């Protein structure tokens, strides 16, 4: 049996992605901090797709030690796709940002993605039909005012994943690495970014996608031969494109 692993699956894009992949008959392993939300997700999948196996794992991946133990817990399973979706944002000027929150964001958005991607590549790069999908942001290609540090974390995710995709291709590896870059999406992202209990997208955000729409875009990316699936921040059109960042191959003289 093969499994699709999705981090940050207790809500938003991760939750909807689990439903979308399960609808295709994919067995699912989901991880998040909130066990109750994962239980709700498992129940929903089981009610519509009783033949799909759903494994739930509770972990806070913003803690470095949990990242390694989480990956170790995946060892008994054959992984087909790893989706690094867990992450959060922050809206503050650099001078005003809460460094405790920022340190946690750096560990989750950058460190956890890097460690999980690396371990997955080591184990599966030569296994046919495997995919790594890392979730970045439109803010991983455009710096947004009062979200400089968050955008910088997503610039890292975009550059790291695009570079990895080209590295794998140059080595003739079987695995494909891809990047999903949403724009504003109706999830809990704004609540965490602004540190508020509630946020209403309708009326507050001029344009946005639903998490269900973004999950469908993720499936479109999964099905494609392109590396980047990105939402245009002005038109909100979703496009599948080749790597955006320049990639300089190492010279034999270096």
Do you know the residue count of the chain?
254
* 253 falls within a domain: no
d(CA 177, CA 171): 13
Please report the pLDDT score of residue 201 as a whole number. 82
Share of the chain above pLDDT 90, in %: 88
Question: What is the pLDDT of the chain when averaged over all its residues?
Answer: 95
The model carries a pTM of: 0.95
* 47 falls within a domain: yes
Domain holding 175: CATH number?
3.40.50.720
- Residues facing residue 56 across a β-bridge: 30
Of 68, 14, 72, give the one whose Cα is nearest residue 41. 14
* 248 falls within a domain: no
d(CA 229, CA 238): 7
Residue 116 has a CB neighbour count (10 Å cut-off) of: 23
**Is residue 82 within 8 Å of 56, Cβ to Cβ?**
no
**Domain with 38 in it:** 2-241
Exposure of 128 by Cβ count < 10 A (0-12 exposed, 13-18 middle, 19+ buried)? exposed
Largest CA distance in the chain: 59
Please report the pLDDT score of residue 252 as a whole number. 61
* 249 falls within a domain: no
pLDDT tens digits, 62-108:
999 999 999 999 999 999 999 999 999 999 999 999 999 999 999 99
pLDDT tens digits, 110-121:
999 999 999 999
d(CA 116, CA 67): 7
Please report the pLDDT score of residue 83 as a whole number. 98
- Domains identified in the chain, total number: 1
Q: Are strands 238-241 and 27-32 parallel, antiparallel or unpaired?
A: unpaired
Of 65, 171, 82, give the one whose Cα is nearest residue 118. 82
pLDDT tens digits, 184-223:
898 877 777 788 888 888 878 888 899 999 999 999 999 9
The mean pLDDT value for 122-134 works out to: 98
Share of the chain above pLDDT 70, in %: 98
* 129 falls within a domain: yes
* 252 falls within a domain: no
Of 87, 168, 77, give the one whose Cα is nearest residue 131. 168
Please report the pLDDT score of residue 189 as a whole number. 74
**Is residue 85 within 8 Å of 113, Cβ to Cβ?**
no
- Residues facing residue 210 across a β-bridge: 186
**Is residue 182 within 8 Å of 231, Cβ to Cβ?**
yes
pLDDT tens digits, 138-194:
999 999 999 999 999 999 999 999 999 999 999 999 999 999 999 989 887 777 778
* 185 falls within a domain: yes
* 222 falls within a domain: yes
Q: Is 142 helix (H, G, I), strand (E, B) or coil?
A: coil
């Amino acid at each position: 049996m093969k499994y699709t692993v999705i981090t940050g699956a207790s809500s938003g894009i991760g939750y909807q992605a689990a439903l979308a992949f399960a609808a295709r008959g994919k067995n699912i392993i989901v991880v998040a901090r909130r066990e109750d939300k994962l239980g709700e997700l498992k129940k929903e999948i089981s009610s519509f797709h009783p033949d799909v196996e759903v494994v739930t794992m509770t972990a806070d991946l913003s803690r470095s030690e949990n990242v390694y133990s989480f990956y170790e817990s995946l060892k008994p399973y054959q992984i087909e796709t790893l989706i690094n979706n867990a992450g959060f944002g922050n809206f503050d000027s650099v001078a005003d940002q809460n460094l405790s929150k920022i340190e946690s964001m750096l560990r989750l958005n950058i460190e956890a993605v890097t460690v999980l991607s690396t371990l997955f590549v080591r184990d599966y790069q030569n296994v046919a039909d495997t995919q790594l999908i890392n979730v970045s942001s439109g803010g991983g290609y455009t710096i947004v005012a009062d979200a400089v540090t968050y955008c910088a974390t997503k610039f890292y995710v975009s550059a790291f994943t695009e570079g990895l995709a080209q590295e794998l291709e140059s080595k003739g590896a079987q695995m494909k690495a891809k990047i999903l870059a949403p724009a504003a999406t109706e999830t809990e992202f704004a609540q965490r970014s602004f540190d508020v209990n509630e946020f209403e997208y309708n009326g507050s955000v001029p344009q946005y996608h639903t998490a269900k729409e973004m999950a469908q875009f993720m499936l479109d990316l999964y099905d494609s031969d392109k590396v980047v699936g990105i939402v245009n921040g002005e038109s909100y059109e979703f496009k599948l494109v080749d790597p955006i960042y320049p990639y300089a191959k190492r010279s034999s003289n270096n």
